[in-house]
Chain A
Amino acid sequence: GDSVTQMEGPVTLSEEAFLTINCTYTATGYPSLFWYVQYPGEGLQLLLKATKADDKGSNKGFEATYRKETTSFHLEKGSVQVSDSAVYFCALSTSGGYNKLIFGAGTRLAVHP
């Protein structure tokens, strides 16, 4: 079945460091891909999305490119801030039938001053 694999955390960085969180997927058909972020004590917020191969999603300085050839959707940010500390979830939506989101396990990011 469809699945999403994320790099295990926690990821600990200093402020202004470069961030990469790896995400790979397995899916039949052509899923859409998402990154959601969960700040402490809150629900999930959509961070960015991409709906087809080679699309780049971007928001708040974060970027991810839909790579069909490597089945990847890695999240990157050039300079992280303390306020970026959160749990990041990669997800895909299954194609065909009713929309289902399949989530990865989440990667906790801690950014220190």
Chain B
Amino acid sequence: ETGVTQTPRHLVMGMTNKKSLKCEQHLGHNAMYWYKQSAKKPLELMFVYSLEERVENNSVPSRFSPECPNSSHLFLHLHTLQPEDSALYLCASSQDPLTDTQYFGPGTRLTVL
């Protein structure tokens, strides 16, 4: 695998379910990001991690819980979501959190019923 990978690519869940999104980067980067892409809004930054430490939480509701166990892996744990949380969730990585260029994964298309 190369670049940034995300699993699953598609996820359908009910509002009472608990699920997790996984991101893995194979670039040797030290910073990882979660973004949300909704149909009607520009891409929104959710979280930033640097060397497994969360350095940015962009006013995201607590029903989204990120986890970064090491510099290569990033998770987004989901629980009691709302239908308006349906979106494409994109993971990205960069050499470090002060570096401009971010590389994105293919995204997970989430549908909340």
B90 contacts the other chain (Cβ, under 8 Å)?
Answer: yes
CA distance A100 to B55 in the complex (A): 11
Partner of B56, one of A4, A43, A46, A100: A100
Q: Which A residues are in CB contact (< 8 Å) with B56?
A: 98, 100
Do B90 and A51 touch (CB < 8 A)?
no
CA distance A30 to B75 in the complex (A): 32
Q: Which B residues are in CB contact (< 8 Å) with A44?
A: 43, 90, 92, 104
A108 contacts the other chain (Cβ, under 8 Å)?
Answer: no
Question: How many residue pairs, one in A and one in B, have C-beta atoms under 8 Å apart?
Answer: 54
> A55: shortest Cβ distance to chain B, in Å?
12
Do A99 and B98 touch (CB < 8 A)?
yes
Interface residues of A in 61-113 (CB under 8 A from B): 89, 93, 98-101, 103-106
Chain B interface category by residue count: 20 to 34
A32 contacts the other chain (Cβ, under 8 Å)?
Answer: yes
Chain A interface category by residue count: 20 to 34
Q: Which A residues are in CB contact (< 8 Å) with B98?
A: 98-99
Write the residues of chain B forming the contact surface with A, with a CB cutoff of 8 angstroms.
Answer: 4, 6, 31, 42-43, 45, 48, 50, 55-56, 90, 92, 94, 97-107
Write the residues of chain A forming the contact surface with B, with a CB cutoff of 8 angstroms.
Answer: 4, 32, 34, 36, 41-46, 49, 51, 89, 93, 98-101, 103-106
